């Protein structure tokens, strides 16, 4: 029997990590990190938090059998030290990992071309997550991840700008967000080119000429 002319491309680890991050965001995780390296032993492929950080969800991505089997030997998988994530899943191409091969209390996600299917586990959006799939999470390790992320922002932004944004009053932040959303709505409605022309029209000294330019783009 001849091989298919156009075999499906192999799913890469990077692709799985990207899909894992998207899945966590779609499931309501307001903060998601993918392959974020810190000064601790465990670097999760994807991890996200819901309910103001009270619930953490970890996804380990496996594109090959050898990678999945090697994962068992890590110290934080064997229980020598606590691992990250209160709720944990493996994500892989369909059939790569069988449900009966899962460690205790782990979920399983099959990554198809157009969707991610939960084979084992509970949906993060469920308010009835049971102890059946719950782990003792490394809370200190997760706090260190947040500290590392904030430290990177502080370095990139500068101490003064970082401090100003962190302590920005809620009312000011809400107004800024409203302006941003209004700008995005206008851009989508009139097209980016017309929107940029509109922005120039508002501030241009010769507003009549700017207005005529705007009308030509509509």
Q: Is the pLDDT of residue 194 over 90?
A: no
Q: What pLDDT, on the 0 to 100 scale, is given for residue 189?
A: 73
Q: Is the pLDDT of residue 7 over 50?
A: no
Domain termination residue (choose one: 138, 161, 178): 138
Q: Domain containing 205: what range? A: 170-217
Q: Is the pLDDT of residue 208 over 90?
A: no
Rounded Cα gap, residues 120 and 46, in angstroms:
18
Q: Alpha carbon of 24 to those of 4, 96, 100, 104, 151: distances in Å?
A: 34, 21, 24, 21, 24
Query: Quick check: helix, strand or coil at residue 92?
Result: strand
| Span between the terminal Cα atoms of the chain, in Å | 59
pLDDT mean over 42-47: 94
The percentage of residues in the chain with a pLDDT greater than 70, rounded to a whole number, is 80
This prediction has a pTM of: 0.76
pLDDT mean over 126-152: 87
25 and 121 share one domain: yes
19 and 98 share one domain: yes
132 and 175 share one domain: no
**Mean confidence (pLDDT) of the chain:** 84
Q: What pLDDT, on the 0 to 100 scale, is given for residue 1?
A: 46
Q: What pLDDT, on the 0 to 100 scale, is given for residue 216?
A: 60
């Amino acid at each position: 029997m001849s091989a298919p002319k156009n075999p499906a491309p192999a799913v890469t680890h990077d692709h799985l990590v990207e899909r894992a991050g998207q899945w966590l965001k779609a499931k309501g995780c307001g903060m998601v990190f993918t392959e974020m390296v810190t000064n601790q032993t465990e670097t999760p492929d994807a991890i996200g938090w819901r309910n103001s950080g009270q619930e953490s969800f970890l996804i380990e991505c496996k594109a090959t059998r050898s990678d999945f089997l090697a994962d068992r030997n890590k110290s934080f998988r064997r229980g020598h030290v606590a691992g990250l994530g209160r709720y944990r899943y493996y994500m892989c191409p369909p059939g790569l990992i069988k449900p009966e091969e899962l460690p205790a209390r782990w979920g399983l996600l099959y990554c198809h071309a157009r969707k991610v299917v939960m084979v084992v586990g509970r949906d993060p959006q469920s308010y009835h997550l049971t102890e059946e799939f719950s782990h003792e999470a490394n809370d200190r390790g997760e706090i260190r991840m947040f500290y590392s992320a904030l430290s990177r922002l502080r370095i990139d932004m500068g101490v003064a700008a970082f401090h100003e944004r962190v302590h920005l009053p809620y009312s000011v932040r809400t107004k800024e967000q409203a302006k941003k959303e209004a700008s995005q709505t206008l851009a989508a409605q009139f097209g980016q080119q017309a929107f940029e022309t509109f922005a120039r029209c508002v501030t241009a000294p010769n507003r009549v000429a700017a207005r005529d330019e705007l009308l030509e783009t509509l």
